[in-house]
């Protein structure tokens, strides 16, 4: 009888230890996956503009960490970040994006038709780079030097008075800093 009790007790102990080992291994694997996704997310601008084709930076980071996406889809982050993302993920996938060419391609920026604007401020609250200025109940304007053409204000405007226009380059508003954007706002 005592032998049976020792045998069952020993077996239970072995199962408990095995369970602990398996759970530690599973946690280590999870943390590894998490940390890659987190590191990727930390490199992305966090403005959730959707230009990469994913609903936000987190979704793109997840797809990248799972090897499902090319590393150079985030235009606001630019080519330097794309290189770092490719290194982290070991990704050889590359979408057909030429960042140098973008320097010379006319940009699309938002333009507000002030005569239709009621000054509700919804566009301003949505702009991830704080490119829109104006006070409540007065016409708002977009600063084309700051605008990254993300479309968020257009979706937010109840009056439908914002459109994207082509901004031909000239010296006064050439986008010298296309490789990075300064995030000042966003929700």
- The helix (H) or strand (E) run that includes residue 109 is strand 107-112
Q: What is the 3-state secondary structure (H, E, C) of 2-36?
A: HHHHHHHHHHHHHHHHHHHHHHHHHHHHHHHHHHH
Is residue 132 close enough to count as binding ligand SF4 by CB under 6 A? yes
Is residue 186 close enough to count as binding ligand SF4 by CB under 6 A? no
Give the contacts of 64 (CB within 8 A, at least 6 positions apart).
Answer: 37, 40, 71, 85, 89, 91
Near ligand SF4 by CB under 6 A: residue from 70, 82, 129, 178: 129
Cβ of residue 151: shortest distance to ligand SF4, in angstroms? 6
Near ligand SF4 by CB under 6 A: residue from 121, 145, 173, 179: 121
Near ligand SF4 by CB under 6 A: residue from 84, 102, 118, 145: 118
Cβ of residue 156: shortest distance to ligand SF4, in angstroms? 6
Structure tokens at 141: 């304007």
Helix pair angle (2-43, 57-65), 10° resolution: 120
Q: What is the largest CA-CA distance in the chain?
A: 93
Near ligand SF4 by CB under 6 A: residue from 37, 40, 43, 76: 76
Cβ of residue 26: shortest distance to ligand SF4, in angstroms? 29
Q: Is 56 exposed, middle or buried (0-12, 13-18, 19+ CB in 10 A)?
A: middle
Is residue 157 close enough to count as binding ligand SF4 by CB under 6 A? yes
Q: Which of residues 36-65 bind ligand SF4 (CB under 6 A)?
A: 44-45, 47-52, 54, 56-57, 60
Is residue 81 close enough to count as binding ligand SF4 by CB under 6 A? no
Is residue 119 close enough to count as binding ligand SF4 by CB under 6 A? yes
Is residue 117 close enough to count as binding ligand SF4 by CB under 6 A? yes
Contact 81, 99 (CB under 8 A): no
Cα→Cα distances 79→44, 126, 127, 180, Å: 12, 26, 23, 9
Q: Which residues bind ligand SF4 (CB under 6 A)?
A: 44-45, 47-52, 54, 56-57, 60, 74-77, 110, 112, 117-123, 126-127, 129, 131-132, 140, 142, 147-153, 156-157, 159, 161-162
């Amino acid at each position: 009888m005592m032998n049976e009790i020792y045998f069952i007790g020993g077996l239970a102990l072995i199962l408990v230890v095995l369970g602990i080992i398996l759970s530690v291994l599973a946690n280590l694997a999870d943390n590894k996956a998490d940390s890659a996704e987190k590191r990727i997310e930390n490199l992305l601008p966090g403005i959730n503009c959707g230009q990469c084709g994913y609903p936000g930076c987190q979704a793109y980071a997840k797809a990248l960490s799972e090897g499902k996406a090319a590393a150079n889809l985030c235009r606001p982050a630019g080519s330097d970040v794309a290189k770092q993302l490719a290194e982290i993920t070991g990704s050889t996938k590359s979408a057909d994006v030429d960042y140098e060419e973008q320097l010379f391609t006319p940009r699309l920026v938002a333009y507000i038709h002030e005569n239709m604007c009621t000054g509700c401020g919804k566009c301003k609250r949505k702009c991830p780079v704080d490119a829109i200025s104006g006070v409540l109940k007065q016409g708002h304007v977009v600063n084309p030097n700051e605008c990254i053409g993300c479309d968020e204000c257009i979706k937010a405007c109840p009056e439908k008075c914002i459109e994207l226009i082509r901004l031909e380059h000239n010296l006064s508003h050439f986008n010298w800093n296309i490789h990075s954007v300064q995030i000042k706002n966003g929700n």
